Structures are given as structure tokens and as C-alpha cells.
Amino acid sequence: MAVDTDFVDNSAADEMAADDPPPPGAAAVLGPALDGAQALARMLATRGVERGLIGPHEVPRLWDRHLLNCAVVADLIDSRYRTLVDIGSGAGLPGLVLALMRPELSVTLLEPMERRCRFLSECVAELGLANASVLRGRAEDTVLRADVATARAVAPLDRLAEMAVRVVRPGGMVLAIKGRTAADELRKARPVLRRIGARGAEVVCAGEGKVIPATTVVRFFAR
């Protein structure tokens, strides 16, 4: 996920204290990943804004709207899954956060734009994420067969579904973070999901009782 801007007002990042403590409850959600998430927050609030990967107005809500919103998606990924691809990873949301949360997962950050890939590679190196790698490319052109595909703010569900089934193994799980539009997008995408043989498509909530609001996700499984 990324928000590109043609002009970035760096004063927003300057005004934000990058070392501000995380909000109450973050430690309970992130556990051992808390320190890494704080480091990622600093990268997003500074370099991420400077390079236009995240809008300056998103900085004050990095934790609630972005980091914790992504972290609870880990609740939907059980231990049988070993590989994950984050489609259109952009600023690394949710891919970098899930790599921090689940060190046993091998996470591929799939991103077509070179400047975003540079940022992601810096984050992977500085966070010491041995379980994450950056791959420049598009889902439509990439030969991957991951157990899980994730996406956030990439495309409407009908288009995203066709991308996602190309990068997961048969029976693999797709998790599309969609927020308020989830039910409507799922309804509109039903014909596409039937055509590609997707099964079990539903709207689920991650992090209920942990974050407010809970993260709304469309989940389905590849043929």
C-alpha cells in the first residue's frame, strides 16, 4: 500500500515526533514485534513521507490506521501457512508488519515501482528481516505460488482477485484489507470470483477486542 504525492510538505513530518511512544494497547497487539514496529513507524514518518510513499496527513495516525490495522491481520494466518506474498506492497503495509509479527513466515514484498522497492529494501535491511525479500514486478507477470496473498489499497476486489489467484498455490488464501467497502466490493466481485473458481469468499474482522475499529478483510481461497 502506498499513497504517492507530487508535492510533499515535509513540515508535517518535522512536527511529528518520530520517537513518540506507541498508543496504549500496541504492546498487547504487537508483542515481540513492538520494537520493530516503532522503527518502521519512524521510517514511514520520515523517509516514507519525504519520498511520497505515505501522505503527510497520515503521519499522526500511523499507529491506529496503519500499523495496528495491519498487525491484527496476522490473526487470520494460522501456523500451516509458510509463505506469503504482499501484492503492491508500496510502503510495506501490510507486508512489513506481517513479516515483523510472524518471523516463521517467508514474506515476499511484490512491488512494480523501483523507488518503492528501494524503500522496501532499506526497511528490510534496517529492520533485520531475514524472512522478507523484495521482488520488483506485477502480480500479473510474476511466477509465484505462495500459501497466502495479502493486499491493501491496491485495486477493487474484482480486479484484485484475478491478480491474487496468479500468485497463490491451489487452495491458497487471499486476504484483501478493504475497510468499509468490503461488503459492497464482495457483492460486485461475485461474478469474477465464480469465474476464477474462488471459494469461501466472505467478509471477516481481524483484531476484534484488540483494535478499534477491527480490521475488515475479504477472505477467499483459490481453486
pLDDT tens, residue by residue, 8-63: 344 443 444 456 789 989 999 999 999 999 999 999 999 999 999 999 999 999 99
Query: Residue 5's pLDDT is what?
Result: 40
The stretch 190-202 carries a mean pLDDT of 97
Q: Residues in the chain, how many?
A: 223
Query: Residue 12's pLDDT is what?
Result: 40
Sign of the CA dihedral running 143, 147, 152, 153: positive
Query: Residue 192's pLDDT is what?
Result: 97
Instruction: From 47, 76, 77, 71, select the one nearest 59 (Cα to Cα).
Output: 47
What separation in angstroms does the CA of 214 have from each of 18, 46, 67? Answer: 25, 27, 13
Query: Residue 9's pLDDT is what?
Result: 42
Helices marked H in the chain — which ranges? Answer: 10-15, 26-30, 34-43, 49-50, 68-71, 95-101, 114-127, 157-164, 182-195
pLDDT in tens, 75-119: 999 999 999 999 999 999 999 999 999 999 999 999 999 999 999
Q: How far apart are CA 4 and CA 51, in angstroms?
A: 8
Phi-psi region of 88 (alpha: psi -120 to 50; beta: other; left: phi over 0): left
Task: Tell me if residue 149 falls in helix, strand or coil.
Answer: strand
pTM assigned to the model: 0.91
Higher pLDDT, 179 or 70: 70
Q: How far apart are CA 180 and CA 166, in angstroms?
A: 26
Greatest Cα-to-Cα distance within the chain, rounded to the nearest angstrom:
50
pLDDT in tens, 115-170: 999 999 999 999 999 999 999 999 999 889 999 999 999 999 999 999 999 999 99
Task: Tell me if residue 218 falls in helix, strand or coil.
Answer: strand
